[in-house]
Amino acid sequence: MGGGSHSTRFKKKYRVWFGDRSSPKNSALTEFPHSTSNRTDMTLNTKTEQYQLDEQWMAQAIQLASRAETEGEVPIGAVAVYEGEVVGRGWNRSISTHDPAAHAEIMALREAGQTIKNYRLCDVTLYVTLEPCAMCAGAMLHARIARLVVGASDPKTGAAGSVLNVLEGKHTFHQVVVEKGLLAKACSAQLRQFFRDRRAASKSKLK
């Protein structure tokens, strides 16, 4: 696990595109360190491969969100990946554990720290089905994660650009690469259905 230069190394190695991740066609290519003759093809190949990996990890986060729902929690899941391996998994557990801080992201970061044996999670990518709140975004800064991939945006409490921009602020001590919109429709649908079912259950109790 490196020190302060990890973010630069990470960007050179992995930061291929930004913006709306609902589809790779909506992404803008950035400079990639290859020879000029093969740079375009290799960048496109790397972009496709990284997108496929990102979808794979986000799909796991969605499964963890489903686990949260079965436990009576808001369905949000998170997966921490380091060097191509899952090092942390989390799902909302605030209600079941009586812990206001037991959000999916926090649980994944805690497990990642135990797996890596370091409270600094340099070069870790965190995948989460819903844009993190300010608490979780702050924990990501302190953990020094390199990259955050978000499914659905949160227009009410999102701290990765929707309401606050905790992770990419000019005055923060660390900046995280943030990419939003990966499998956004699936993540949003999961949350909408959960709250729709909960409202219906509440109405039925009043009858």
Of 5, 37, 39, nearest in space to 16 by CA: 39
**Rounded Cα distance, 54 and 35, in Å:** 25
Tell me the C-alpha to C-alpha distance, in Å, between residue 202 and each of 73, 106, 164, 188.
15, 29, 32, 21
Torsion sign (Cα): 129, 61, 141, 133: positive
Residue 198, pLDDT score: 87
Buried-exposed string 11-44: b where 16+ CB fall within 10 A, e elsewhere: beeebbbeebbeebeebeeeebeeeeeeeeeebe
**Rounded Cα distance, 177 and 125, in Å:** 9
Helices (H) and strands (E) in the chain, counts: 6, 7
| pLDDT tens-place string over residues 85-101 | 999 999 999 999 999 99
Q: What does the radius of gyration of the chain's CA atoms come to, in whole angstroms?
A: 18
105 in catalytic set:
yes
Cβ-contact 5, 174 below 8 angstroms: no
Pairing of strands 77-82, 28-29: unpaired
Kindly list the strands in the beta sheet with 85-91, ordered across the sheet, starting from the edge strand earlier in the chain: 85-91, 77-82, 124-130, 147-152, 177-180
What's the token pair of residue 76?
């949000």
Catalytic residue (one of 105, 111, 168, 179): 105
Per the listing, tokens 């190949």 go with 45
Pairing of strands 28-29, 17-18: antiparallel
| pLDDT tens-place string over residues 99-111 | 999 999 999 999 9
The parts of the chain modelled with pLDDT lower than 50 are 1-37
